[in-house]
Amino acid sequence: MTTAELKIDLINKITKIKELRIIEEIHKFLDFELGEGEYKVNIDQKNRIGEAQNDHIMDEDDANNAIEEWLNEK
């Protein structure tokens, strides 16, 4: 399929979707891919971004431990 054909196929499939939640998720994904809209982060994420900008980074073991803790919370 060409790019134009894929776009038309995608548009046709999207027009058939009835569930608002799915349409909203597609919209968010497209905004992210196109660099549009706002990406929202929580306070912990903002703090971590600030730390990274100040060259405070985790070593691999600490990062893996943080990931494991986060996964166990879910």
- Tell me the DSSP string of 14-69: HHH---HHHHHHHHHHHHHHTT-S-----HHHHHHHHHHHTT----HHHHHHHHHH
Q: Is the pTM of the predicted complex or chain greater than 0.85?
A: no
Quick one: average pLDDT of 24-49? Answer: 87
| pLDDT per residue as tens digits for the range 7-27 | 999 999 999 999 999 999 999
> With 0-12 CB in 10 A as exposed, 13-18 as middle and 19+ as buried, what is 12?
exposed
